[in-house]
Amino acid sequence: MLTGKAALVTGGGRGIGAAIARRLAAEGARVALTSHASAEPAAALVREIAEAGGEAIALAADMADPQAVRVVVAETAQRFGRLDILVNNAGMGVAASIEDAAMADFEACVAINFTAVFVAIQEAARRMTAGGRIITIGSVNGDRIPYQGGAIYAATKAAVAGLTRGAARDLGPRGITVNVVQPGPIDTDMNPADSPWADAGRAATVLGRYGATTDVASLVAYLASDEAGFITGASLNVDGGYNA
């Protein structure tokens, strides 16, 4: 579906981001993926994609640094000669009650989960032409937070949903779509299906199970394709009914 396209996936070295990078490459896109703490997994994924006949590059970047975000967007466009798809996947969580949360944790979460998304969208939009696709990985917790200690994380994910709607209005006249994908419980190394809190996550879904990273990647690949050209400003849940 994506032959000839160039994509940037932030936080693409592991988990959901790696699954997205792998799927976009399988669909024919050339993929740049950023990593910070997961440099070796990112390099391994680049090799895997190349062995499968695809093209990928890994770019080191601290997504908490706005200038680093600007650099990786510019480098992706320069290396591939274009930028068609941006997937804002890099993120972090904070587990702390409002009265106990440290200001440093709040600022770090906002920097990575929200500010980096804003900067990446701004920089990518300046380089995209009609048919461009901007997709942010949010969270169902932006709509529903059924546990204590998640206020800061939930706030950042609600913020990117609002940013998505506004950006869709701004960029729609240029033929660029902007959407947010909101995963529910997905089995990753940061949120494993065998963790102490996993039973509560499963119980909150309609299907009674965790999802796979490929479930998220499938929706992202569709939204990145020409077939999804009339979908924009949408918040799309991949959550097994968590928010039903």
* pLDDT for the residue numbered 187: 94
* pLDDT for the residue numbered 39: 82
Number of domains the chain is built from? 1
* pLDDT for the residue numbered 100: 93
* pLDDT for the residue numbered 44: 95
Backbone angles phi, psi at 49, to 5 degrees: -65, -40
In a domain, residue 111? The reply is yes
CATH number for the domain spanning 112: value is 3.40.50.720
In a domain, residue 95? The reply is yes
CB 95 within 8 A of CB 144: no
Token pair for residue 194? 């065998």
- pLDDT at residue 59 greater than cutoff 90: yes
In a domain, residue 243? The reply is no
In a domain, residue 67? The reply is yes
pTM of the predicted model, to two decimals?
0.96
CB 135 within 8 A of CB 164: no
In a domain, residue 60? The reply is yes
* pLDDT for the residue numbered 197: 81
| Chain mean pLDDT for the chain | 96
Residues whose CB falls within 8 Å of the CB of residue 19, separated by 6 or more in sequence, listed in order: 212, 213, 214, 216, 217
Q: Which tens digit of pLDDT belongs to each residue from 134-158?
A: 999 999 999 999 889 999 999 999 9
Kindly tell me the burial class for residue 208, based on how many C-beta atoms sit within 10 Å of its own C-beta (0-12, 13-18, 19 or more). exposed
Distance, CA of 160 to CA of 14 (rounded, Å): 21
Residue-range definition of the domain harbouring residue 74: 6-238
In a domain, residue 105? The reply is yes
In a domain, residue 211? The reply is yes
In a domain, residue 1? The reply is no
Q: Which tens digit of pLDDT belongs to each residue from 9-41?
A: 999 999 999 999 999 999 999 999 999 877 889
**Set 153, 210, 222, 242: catalytic member:** 153
153 catalytic, yes or no?
yes
**% the chain with pLDDT above 90:** 91
- What distances in angstroms separate CA 82 from CA 78, 87, 189, one per listed residue? 7, 15, 32
DSSP code of 14?
Answer: S
